[in-house]
Structure 1
Amino acid sequence: MGWRGIFGFEYGIVQAPLGPDISGPQLVAAVANAGGLGLLRAPDWESPDYLRELIKKTRTLTDKPFGVGVVLAFPHEENLKVILDEKVAVLQTYWGDCTAELVAKAHSAGVKIVPQVGSVESAKQAIDAGADGIIIQGREAGGHVIGQESLISLVPRVVNLVGDRDIPVIAAGGIVDARGYVAALALGAQGVCLGTRFLATEESYANPIYKRKVIELDDTEYTDVFGRARWPSAPHRVLQTPFFKEWRSLPTDESEANKPVIGHSTIHGVEKEIRRFAGTVPNVTTTGDLESMVMYAGEGVGLIKEILPASEVIKRLVEGAQLIIQQNFK
């Protein structure tokens, strides 16, 4: 029997849709096979045929349900049609409004919709729109962070807002181990969403150098240094790499737009140049000056000390949380 399951999944553990393509079919399938909710990341541009193949490839690796994450700030209408046509289990949305119209589209296709939000106001809007669940992201999270509050204050307020409605609240931001899982449950959440911990797994599509930095470095910073031209007003939490420490005070009028190309990458089947200060993390295909590229990570990164199979991450989360509750909360 599962423990703290949500949306019919065995466990209340969600693997974040790591961008731009770090959570690919291998990682998502491994999470799904272990009883969690794995989320593919849709391309940040319209690429419906590629996305359909991504979903189909994932289905060759698992017979369990999974989902797809979409950043609403980027073109997504054609991608959305594919997600609903393929009837994945969950549509996760971020950085944009989860409207009643969008919820109706998802529900008409038999797809659950779970927005990720960063404030009580956005959570209320999602509840009113009819969302099936809410991922509430604290400022502790890695990558692009839309909110300003910490989980310890956000989660209880959103739980109070949900009340007795059947809408699971899922905590995201800095959670990497069983202690974080239990803390989120104590705040009233019914599940947790992890990004950085699943980035540092055998199945993630992150470059080995990026994974190694996650293991080696303990500190992060909330900044806007990377990707200003492509995604303005989108702050993010990054590892404090030597490159970042040198350039953390980059003048506000500078961006990646006129900076030199420092590498190349194939992202969702498309060849991309990576300029200095671009907001693109290195994946397996990336070549060039990787040490100077952005590396997103949440505040819990200092607790990650080894690369594990995704199934082992889930096993340790569940068994560790059960043990903590048994020993301390009888």
Structure 2
Amino acid sequence: MGWKGILGFDYGVVQGPLGPDVSGPELVAAVANAGAIGILRAPDWEAPDHLRELIRETRALTDKQFGVGIVLSFPHKENLKAVLDEKVAVLQVSWGDFPKELVSEAHHAGVKVIHQVGCIEDAKKAKCAGVDAIVVQGHEAGGHVLGQDGLISLLPRVVDLVSDCDIPVIAAGGIVDARGYVAALVLGARGVCLGTRFLATLESFAHPHYKQKLIESDKTEFTNIFGRSRWPGAPQRVLQTPFFNEWRHLPDHENEENQPVIGLSTIHGVPKEIRRFAGTVPNPTTTGNVDCMAMYAGEGVGLIKEILPAGEVVKSLVEEAQYIIQQKLSHG
């Protein structure tokens, strides 16, 4: 079974790039030190110098390899150049096409490319582009969700699609523990990518109140009320907070542009006003009405009962998955 490593890492466990700056150097280094794939989140605007600084801060905290995630819907040419210049181990891309020429450019710099997709059509494009791995994101995932298909139906289709070439498939969406990990392996994945579980760790750069909500809540909803202006056509899965339940039927013509400012935050070193219905999740610098801000979470949130060190999350995933495979699956 494939609980062993992928892409040169010890384990097939990937920490998803959590935005806008939740997966910072501390979280990524902790995941890397545990033998898994930690991924920094690049800013959603061109900030190559800041991104280089994030990469260097991470390198100061770990001697292991790690990655950077870029959302292709936002300006990213300069950020991409910074990633390749710094020769990080892995570039994770999502929300857009990443053609063969760019994959070749990354390979020339010694950088492996993981493309996250949410449908079979995008998986075909990623395969044609020659990426090194494909993350299949199911509809169960938290945050901005790419596709409409559940993981259990989409994942085997992508596994079959790449069966004629050695592209590892990584499962994402609703996975928080070893049972989900093993289920993904049985469906043909070679690794798993977790977002919400790593959000609820000591090292994640999420606001303490947001982390507490993850432990207390077990209901999520797929919606589009947050960030309609900044990132149109990017629906999201969020916690069903009292604020969300009050505003869940926000009329289609409304967006964050004409809404009151409910807080302030420093994101990737830049001071930002947070308006009501902005898609910005609160980080520890955030002040104001945190309860009324977006709180992304995947469907597996009900299985998260405590805030753990990120290294412990990796360790328990791997050890418990090995136990399930050896004890439960092999002995019937």
- Structure 1 and Structure 2 fold alike (TM over 0.5): yes
Task: Tell me the distance in 1 between the aligned counterparts of 2:99 and 2:320.
Answer: 37
Query: In structure 1, what residue type is equivalent to 2:83?
Result: I
Give 3-state SS (helix, strand or coil) of 1:171's partner: strand
- CA apart distance, 1:102: 1.2
Task: Tell me the distance in 1 between the aligned counterparts of 2:129 and 2:49.
Answer: 29
Match of 1:116?
116
Cα 1:13–1:128, aligned 2, differ >3 Å: closer, same or farther?
Answer: same
Task: Tell me the distance in 1 between the aligned counterparts of 2:186 and 2:283.
Answer: 35
Match of 2:247?
247
Give 3-state SS (helix, strand or coil) of 2:56's partner: helix
Match of 2:107?
107
Match of 1:294?
294
Match of 1:274?
274
Match of 1:21?
21
- CA apart distance, 1:325: 1.1
Task: Tell me the distance in 2 between the aligned counterparts of 1:162 and 1:61.
Answer: 36
Query: CA contact under 8 A between 2:3 and 2:190: conserved in structure 1?
Result: no
Task: Tell me the distance in 1 between the aligned counterparts of 2:240 and 2:231.
Answer: 21
Give 3-state SS (helix, strand or coil) of 2:148's partner: coil
User: Per-residue CA shift, 1:217-252, capped at 9, x if unaligned?
Assistant: 000000000000101111000000000000000001
Query: CA contact under 8 A between 2:218 and 2:302: conserved in structure 1?
Result: yes
Task: Tell me the distance in 1 between the aligned counterparts of 2:169 and 2:121.
Answer: 14
User: Per-residue CA shift, 1:174-196, capped at 9, x if unaligned?
Assistant: 00000000000010000000000
Mapping 1:136-147, distance limit 5 Å: 136-147=136-147
Give 3-state SS (helix, strand or coil) of 1:253's partner: coil
Aligned identity (percent) is 73
Match of 2:307?
307
Unaligned runs of 5+ in 2: none
Query: In structure 2, what residue type is equivalent to 1:265?
Result: S
Query: CA contact under 8 A between 2:47 and 2:79: conserved in structure 1?
Result: yes
- CA apart distance, 1:164: 3.5
1:216 corresponds to 2:216:
yes
Query: CA contact under 8 A between 1:133 and 1:170: conserved in structure 2?
Result: yes
Task: Tell me the distance in 2 between the aligned counterparts of 1:101 and 1:299.
Answer: 36
Mapping 1:1-330, distance limit 5 Å: 3-330=3-330
Q: Which runs of 4+ in 1 moved over 6 A?
A: none
Task: Tell me the distance in 1 between the aligned counterparts of 2:135 and 2:310.
Answer: 20
Task: Tell me the distance in 2 between the aligned counterparts of 1:259 and 1:289.
Answer: 14
Query: CA contact under 8 A between 1:239 and 1:295: conserved in structure 2?
Result: yes
Give 3-state SS (helix, strand or coil) of 2:226's partner: coil
Task: Tell me the distance in 2 between the aligned counterparts of 1:328 and 1:202.
Answer: 31
- CA apart distance, 1:3: 4.3
- CA apart distance, 1:105: 1.1
Give 3-state SS (helix, strand or coil) of 1:9's partner: coil
Query: CA contact under 8 A between 1:70 and 1:93: conserved in structure 2?
Result: yes
- CA apart distance, 1:104: 1.1
Task: Tell me the distance in 2 between the aligned counterparts of 1:107 and 1:316.
Answer: 33
Paired residues in the alignment total 329
Query: In structure 1, what residue type is equivalent to 2:311?
Result: S
Give 3-state SS (helix, strand or coil) of 1:37's partner: coil
Query: In structure 1, what residue type is equivalent to 2:183?
Result: A
Give 3-state SS (helix, strand or coil) of 1:8's partner: coil
Task: Tell me the distance in 2 between the aligned counterparts of 1:3 and 1:114.
Answer: 18
Task: Tell me the distance in 2 between the aligned counterparts of 1:183 and 1:43.
Answer: 33
Query: CA contact under 8 A between 1:3 and 1:10: conserved in structure 2?
Result: no
